[in-house]
């Protein structure tokens, strides 16, 4: 079980879990619900855009051409944030809080509309009932359902991503948007299926760490590269980058994003690495894995990197601690993220034998732990 409190549970699930046919039971507020098991990489809850799908598999593209359901749910403003997150946990593909729309037609000025997207055929009534129950609502909120078309879905998905200002002079810009400041360092991104849009606090914390740390000439390892955003950023900051992941879709996404930033394979090395815990969770993953299965590599570059960042999940950070540390030179900086602030003590306990000068940065209940690899470390048994 992940170590998050009931108040953070829904928010944590919306970012850290991905749909799978295999489920385990998770107890929340004395209610047992079914949720999928966490994978190596944190996932975004937003569906892929059409361009990425057409480049990965026809299965993905055909899914986008299917109708989908637009569900507008109205509830009191005090519960709207929790309901939005709960809907994601119980089957919504995305949610948007629309205060203006709610104010125009709601029965109460205190009502707010949550506009959500569901796959066609999904049991919307059951989802809303479970979502309302999970956050303690006494009544099921009023809602209306209509069928959306493929064009609306793509447009809505793209509109949900705006340029993100990470810090002064550093922007994350979706491929279909114009950079707000062409003189800044702009990382162009097509989010696709992989995590790392620049919007999530853990991604921002890792980017800020790299921005303040890299001076040029360092060798950087992005452990669990996802969309490739950290590896691309490190290159733009003057370092040499290598990205590894166990997910074929992540490698495909990272390659595409590197190309969007005029970065070729000779500049950014991306490696699909084997994992006993990696198994495809969708048909598209199976197709992508088949396409690049001959590229699975075992990376043996131990104690080579000046900076290593793993922005993944609490459990793999704990289980893979020695493997993560093995890539770093003595004196290298290690960054560990993808965790809630309340999970920091677990990371501190696990990594304190390996690191010195440990620091923690936090943003919106999420954290990044970083420190310097000790010259000599004691072996820690798992």
CATH at residue 93: 3.30.70.120
Asked if residue 257 and residue 121 are part of one domain, the reply reads: no
Give the residue among 191, 195, 214 at the shortest CA–CA distance from 203: 195
- Check residue 295 and give its pLDDT: 55
Q: 132 is in which domain, residue-wise?
A: 68-100+109-148
What is the C-alpha separation between 232 and 243, in angstroms, rounded? Answer: 9
Distances (CA, A) of 362 to 138, 209, 323, 359: 34, 11, 25, 10
Asked if residue 216 and residue 351 are part of one domain, the reply reads: yes
Residue 63 inside a domain? The answer is: no
Of 86, 121, 148, which marks where a domain is finished? 148
- Check residue 107 and give its pLDDT: 55
Residue 7 inside a domain? The answer is: no
pLDDT tens for 348-366 read 999 999 999 999 999 999 9
- Check residue 89 and give its pLDDT: 85
- Check residue 61 and give its pLDDT: 42
Instruction: Return left, alpha or beta for 236; rule: phi > 0 is left, psi -120 to 50 is alpha, else beta.
Output: alpha
**Collapsing DSSP states into helix, strand and coil, what is residue 321?**
helix
Asked if residue 340 and residue 215 are part of one domain, the reply reads: yes
- DSSP letters spanning 109-156: TTEEEEEEEEETT--HHHHHHHHHHHTT-SSPPEEEEEEEPHHHHHHH
Residue 251 inside a domain? The answer is: yes
pTM: 0.62
Asked if residue 204 and residue 144 are part of one domain, the reply reads: no
Contacts of 161 (CB under 8 A, 6+ apart): 46, 174, 177, 191, 197, 199
Asked if residue 343 and residue 252 are part of one domain, the reply reads: yes
Asked if residue 216 and residue 129 are part of one domain, the reply reads: no
Asked if residue 306 and residue 223 are part of one domain, the reply reads: yes
Give the residue among 131, 173, 169, 150 at the shortest CA–CA distance from 63: 150
β-strand partners of 241:
220, 268
Residue 179 inside a domain? The answer is: no
371 CA to centre of own chain: 23
Residue 237 inside a domain? The answer is: yes
Distances (CA, A) of 64 to 150, 190, 327: 6, 17, 40
Asked if residue 228 and residue 139 are part of one domain, the reply reads: no
Tens digits of pLDDT across the chain (382 residues): 233 333 333 333 333 332 222 222 222 222 222 333 222 333 333 333 333 222 333 334 444 456 788 999 999 888 888 898 889 888 888 888 876 544 444 456 678 999 998 988 889 999 999 999 988 898 999 999 998 766 555 666 667 678 999 999 999 999 988 999 999 999 999 866 555 667 789 999 999 999 999 999 999 999 999 999 999 999 999 999 999 999 898 899 999 999 999 999 999 999 998 874 333 333 333 433 444 444 555 555 789 999 999 999 899 999 999 999 999 999 999 999 999 999 999 999 999 999 999 999 999 999 999 999 998 754 444 4
- Check residue 100 and give its pLDDT: 55
Residue 170 inside a domain? The answer is: no
**Domains of the chain: total:** 2
Residue 161 inside a domain? The answer is: no
Asked if residue 198 and residue 144 are part of one domain, the reply reads: no
- Check residue 257 and give its pLDDT: 95
Q: What is the CATH number of the domain that holds 312?
A: 3.40.50.150
Asked if residue 213 and residue 132 are part of one domain, the reply reads: no
pLDDT tens for 95-109 read 888 765 444 444 566
Residue 25 inside a domain? The answer is: no
């Amino acid at each position: 079980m992940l170590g998050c409190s009931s108040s953070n549970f829904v928010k944590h699930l919306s970012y850290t879990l991905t749909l799978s046919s295999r489920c385990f039971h998770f107890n929340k507020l004395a209610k047992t619900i079914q949720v999928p098991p966490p994978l190596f990489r944190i996932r975004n809850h937003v569906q892929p855009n059409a361009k990425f799908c057409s480049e990965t598999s026809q299965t993905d593209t055909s899914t986008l051409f299917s109708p989908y359901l637009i569900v507008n749910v109205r509830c009191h403003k005090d519960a709207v944030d929790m309901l939005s997150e709960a809907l994601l946990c119980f089957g919504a593909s995305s949610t948007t809080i629309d205060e203006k729309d709610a104010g125009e037609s709601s029965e109460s000025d205190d009502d707010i509309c949550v506009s959500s997207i569901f796959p066609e055929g999904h049991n919307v009534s059951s989802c809303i009932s479970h979502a309302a129950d999970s956050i303690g609502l006494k009544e099921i909120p009023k809602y209306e359902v209509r069928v959306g078309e493929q064009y609306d879905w793509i447009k809505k998905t793209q509109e949900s991503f705006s340029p993100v200002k990470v810090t002064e002079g550093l922007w994350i810009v979706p491929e279909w948007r114009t950079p707000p400041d062409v003189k800044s360092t702009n990382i162009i991104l097509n989010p696709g299926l992989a995590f790392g849009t620049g919007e999530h606090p853990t991604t921002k914390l890792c980017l800020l760490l790299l921005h303040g740390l890299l001076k040029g000439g360092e060798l950087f390892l992005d452990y669990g590269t996802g969309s490739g955003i950290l590896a691309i950023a490190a290159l733009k900051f003057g370092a040499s980058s290598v990205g590894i992941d166990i997910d074929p879709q992540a490698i495909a996404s990272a390659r595409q994003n590197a190309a969007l930033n005029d970065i070729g394979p000779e500049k950014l090395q991306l490696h699909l690495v084997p994992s006993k815990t990696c198994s495809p969770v969708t048909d598209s993953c199976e197709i992508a894995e088949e396409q690049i299965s001959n590229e699975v590599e075992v990376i043996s570059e131990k104690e080579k990197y000046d900076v290593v960042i793993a922005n993944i999940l609490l459990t793999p950070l704990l289980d893979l601690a020695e493997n993560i540390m093995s890539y770093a030179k003595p004196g290298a900086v290690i960054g560990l993220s993808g965790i809630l602030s309340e999970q920091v003590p677990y990371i501190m306990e696990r990594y304190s034998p390996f690191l010195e000068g440990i620091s923690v940065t936090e943003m919106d209940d999420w954290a990044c732990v970083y420190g310097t690899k000790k010259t000599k470390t004691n072996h820690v048994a798992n």
